[in-house]
Structure 1
Amino acid sequence: MSSLHIFALHQPTEPLFVTEDVTDIAAHLQQHGIRFEQWRATAAIDAHSSTEQVLTAYADAIARLQQQEGYVAVDVISLSPDHPDKAALRQKFLDEHIHTEDEVRFFVRGQGLFCLHLGDKVYQVLCKQHDLISVPANTPHWFDMGSSPDFTAIRFFNNPQGWVAHFTGSTLARQFPLLN
């Protein structure tokens, strides 16, 4: 189940607020300009579905979001627990960073943990199957796919070059809980 944990910046072990209610998650995130919603596929998708099958299953929702927000590129990323580079890929996203464009992910299957540094709080959003999150440009954050990643996600980009991170140099991310 999707969840939101809100922590005080200097109290990473005791959340101030926790919810699994999708409406509450969306409302809390919207206060910071973060989009959170759920989509449904028009066809069955599993770990063996091709990129084309994934994009076709969500074609209407993808087109709507591209039209609304002007995203110029869309791709699909899948990781499994037996991926040979899973540890290095996980490390790549664990340090706090920003992007000069929105970071938008839709979880077709599996899960991922987005951690957002918003003022004096950290918002941890556990995204699961059917969840879309859009983190606005220049929002400090980090992402954890867990030690045994098993997900498929659609990524949207304003930049045709794809994912470009600018690391903040902060060690804050190492203080907060991660996925197992």
Structure 2
Amino acid sequence: MTTLSIFDQSQPETARTVTENPSEIRELLAGKGIRFEQWHTRDLPADASQDQILEAYSNEVAKLKAECGFQTADVISLNPDNPQKEALRKKFLDEHTHSEDEVRFFVRGQGLFYLHFGNEVFAVLCQKNDLISVPDGTRHWFDMGPEPEFTCIRLFSNPEGWVAEFTGEDIATRLPRYEALAGASG
């Protein structure tokens, strides 16, 4: 289930707010400029290709492209048997920003976005059918867990993709990781 946990960075061991209510999650994230939606998912084969996935969601993707000026969309998929899963997880675990919005729609599986606002960190465990759009310049990091299993549609303004600008802050090392938060959600 989609979960939002809000931490005070001075007390990172305990979330002061946890909710699984999609309307409340949407409202709390909107208050920070984060777009959060839940789209209806399509029945797709487990081995669906990028083209099949993009075709299944072509209306939603076209709407976002027109509304937000995105130029391209692709699909990223990761499974527990990927031999590079450890390196890929590590790549996204440090706090960073981008010069364009980071948009992901979860076609299957789950992943954990951490969003850093002043003294607060919002940890959003996104699940199948969740769309999250992290505005450019937002301090964040992503944890896919030790056994990643997800497929996401990503949208880009720059066809070359996102370039991470790392903040050098160690905040990501002080908060509970995916294993603690995803396990707590059930």
Could you list the runs of 4 or more consecutive aligned residues of structure 1 that deviate by over 6 angstroms after TM superposition?
none
Amino acid corresponding to residue 148 of structure 2 in structure 1: P
Residue in 1 that maps onto 2:21: 21
1:145 matches 2:144? yes
Q: TM-score, normalised by structure 1?
A: 0.97
Unaligned runs of 5+ in 2: 180-186
> Could you tell me how far apart the structure 2 residues matched to 1:149 and 1:59 are?
25
Deviations 1:27-77 (A, max 9, x none): 000001100001113x41243111111111111111111110000110000
Given that 2:97 and 2:165 are in contact with CA atoms closer than 8 Å, whether structure 1 keeps it comes out as: yes
Name the SS of the counterpart of 2:36 in structure 1.
strand
> Could you tell me how far apart the structure 2 residues matched to 1:34 and 1:16 are?
20
Residue in 1 that maps onto 2:155: 156
1:93 matches 2:92? yes
Given that 2:98 and 2:163 are in contact with CA atoms closer than 8 Å, whether structure 1 keeps it comes out as: yes
Percent of counterpart pairs with the same letter? 54
How large is the Cα RMSD of the aligned pairs? Answer: 0.8
Name the SS of the counterpart of 1:13 in structure 2.
coil
1:50 matches 2:64? no
How many equivalent pairs are there?
A: 179
Deviation of 1:163 (Å)? 2.1
Residue in 1 that maps onto 2:33: 33
Q: TM-score, normalised by structure 2?
A: 0.94
